[in-house]
Structure 1
């Protein structure tokens, strides 16, 4: 594995770093406090072609490496984690269609996502189907040349801002997971039935990333909107999560890096007992531990991204990266608050926001307990 980034990757990283630090960072507090959707951030990313960074050029993307994608999300997350979640989910939907769709589906849907005409929403979780997606109750019944969808989904990122929804539904509940198929629902082209989007959930963090429940009531979609073959839906979803988990690890890296940088600077500037607090081992050892966890997180995340770029199976490595990086970031953001003392607890600094935002990364796209299950099964246990 070559640890050096390519010239293109370095350029992409520098471009996103400048944009995030100069524009996103100053908007992030207001976005969090008022639960504002970061529309301007998304617009600026779309103008740079970063909503389709790993989408093929012929579908409007930049066809960059998975490593570039990881760097993009890391840099965005250092300034505004809510924005990175929106980008991550949108990319995951576009990539799933590119991987599993036919040519007509690819031409119809992917450019709209890659060029920023709309966002994508990934619809898997339900009230009784979280870590166990095979328990989903949403159904898809084929009638003539159309499917009729009924059911509901929970915790759908981008729901109120998307037109393209990747929905997993069960065609044959008797088959369990083998009956699940994937469908593309284009909200603006619904002709029959109802598609209801609930209000954004009130959350602990990531407040600029709006998350809602959605409801299908006899929703009619053309048979041609099925993605892949009958019963292939769960496989499509899980394959998407392999890449998505690299994105979550990258988000955690960005948040942790921001907390770490702030802690190092504060430890050098803040003085007590006649010297900088970083001179005291009680502080310096905390920061040393933060550095070890941060660098290890970056290594496992980049390994997973590199493996994906090489066309290697990376299911286990993505789970390792997601679980380790998010838990490390949880510890790093908690320690950053302690390094900053009372100011860390204050909303005047973003440290408390970092710690709130990181909580969701331990849960979505598969809880870290599920990541451990994936890892152990890949070890033959």
Structure 2
């Protein structure tokens, strides 16, 4: 098993690190504190082509391999997790359009999405339906050549900046099981009745907005039905979430890496009783635990990403990576805060931000309890073997 990066991947990582170190880390704390949207950083992401990392080359994208895809999120989250979120939802939607859309839908949206001229996200979650997507209440009723959408979506990243939003709806609410009556519509956000109602306050994950959206008699052409066939929305969403878990695993590794770096640097600089606190065994044990879990999370994450590059389904592997890496991020950020002592609780130090950002990774793209059931099913059906 070879876990090393190719020369091209190492060069790509180096370019990402330069961006993060020079243009993101120096401003992250202040911009988050003031609620400033990272317009300049978004422009740099656009210039680097990062809005097209899941878009095929024939539509103007980079079509990155899954290892490089995961690298993007690790490096960006190491600097500011909210920045990774801006790209995450966008590229997940692009992947779904590229994978499941009609040729007309791909031609209409992918070139502009890949260039960053247009932006997107994904409208799945509702006030009463997060993990249980089959419980959504948003409906789309066929009316001649149109669908009329009624409902509410919540926790929608990029909502205020999206030009098109894939929205999960029930086109046949009476069908059982419910997933057979679910579809995805590509909704132009300028359509009358589409309203971003409010930004939701959050513990962490700042820099990008998370909004509630109201769809009040939103009329869209039938041609916006993703793939052109009703009843496939649940499968389309779940296939996207599979690679989305690599995104979350990568972000988790980035947060854990940033936590480790901060803890190690601080332990070398901070003195107590006449010597650096890194000389004390209690601190050394914490550093050893963080570093070991971090490296294990990184190896598991890129193992899953490499398998995805083989074309195989990676429900179990991506679930394992997301589960383990996100728990590692939570532990690493907490231990880094403890190593900082009282300063770890200060907004002048980055570790308090890592501590606030990390918990979302155990929730996003499926809670970790759900991940454990996904992993178990993959073990039972034999799609993942251990040993």
User: TM-score per shorter chain, which class?
Assistant: over 0.9
Instruction: Give, in angstroms, the shift of residue 199 of structure 1.
Output: 1.8
Gaps of 5+ in 1: none
Secondary structure of the structure 2 residue equivalent to 1:42: helix
Give, in angstroms, the shift of residue 322 of structure 1.
0.9
**Secondary structure at 2:216's aligned position in 1?**
strand
Equivalent-residue separation in structure 1 for 2:121 and 2:207 (angstroms): 15
Aligned to 2:27: 27
Counterpart in the other structure of 2:185: 183
Does the 8 Å contact 2:140/2:169 carry over to 1?
yes
Report deviation, 1:59.
1.1
Residues 121-160 of structure 1 mapped to structure 2, 5 A cutoff: 121-160=121-160
Q: Which region of structure 1 is more displaced relative to structure 2, 271-280 or 174-183?
A: 271-280
What is the distance in 2 between the residues matched to 1:72 and 1:29?
20
Q: Distance in 2 between matches of 1:338 and 1:268?
A: 15
Equivalent residues of 1:122, 1:166 under 8 A apart:
yes
CA distance in 1, matches of 2:27, 2:60: 28
Deviation at 1:54, TM superposition (A): 2.9
Write the distance in 1 (CA, Å) between the matches of 2:324 and 2:166. Answer: 28
SS of alignment partner, residue 349 of structure 1: coil
Matches of 1:128 and 1:366, distance apart in 2: 15
Which has the larger displacement, 369-378 or 79-88? Answer: 369-378
> Alpha-carbon deviation of 1:263?
0.9
Structure 1 residue 35: deviation in Å? 2.2
Displacement of 1:118: 2.2
1:53-84 per-residue CA deviation (whole Å, 9 max, x = no partner) reads 23211111112211111111111111111100
* CA displacement at 1:348 relative to structure 2: 1.0
CA distance in 1, matches of 2:274, 2:189: 63
Task: Give the C-alpha shift of residue 324 in structure 1.
Answer: 0.8
Q: Match for residue 163 of structure 2?
A: 163
Aligned to 2:224: 225
Give yes or no for contact 1:32–1:206 (8 Å, CA) kept in 2: no
Are 2:69 and 2:247, in contact at CA under 8 Å, matched by a contact in 1?
Answer: yes
Q: Is the 8 A contact 2:74 2:253 kept in 1?
A: yes
Shift of 1:380: 2.7
SS at match of 2:122: strand
Distance 1:234 1:35 in 2: 35
Are 1:269 and 2:263 matched, yes or no? no
Q: Helix, strand or coil: the match of 2:167? A: strand
Q: 2:250 — aligned with what?
A: 250
Summarize the alignment of residues 309-348 of structure 1 with structure 2, pairs less than 5 Å apart.
Answer: 309-348=309-348
**Helix, strand or coil at the partner of 2:219:** strand
Deviation at 1:37, TM superposition (A): 2.0
2:196 counterpart residue number: 197
C-alpha displacement of 1:2: 2.1
The residue aligned with 2:376 is 376
- Secondary structure of the 1:118 match is coil
Partner Cα separation in structure 2 for residue 359 and residue 209 of structure 1 = 16
1:269 deviates by 1.9
CA contact 1:36–1:207 (8 Å) conserved in 2:
no
Counterpart residue number, 2:207: 208
Describe the SS at the equivalent of 1:198: strand
Counterpart of 1:173 in 2: which secondary structure?
Answer: coil
The answer to whether the 8 Å contact 1:31/1:207 transfers is: no
In the alignment, is the contact (CA less than 8 A) between 1:123 and 1:165 conserved in 2?
yes
**SS across alignment from 2:199:** coil
Matched residues, number:
378
Within 2, Cα distance between the matches of 1:129 and 1:343?
Answer: 39
Distance 1:244 1:303 in 2: 15
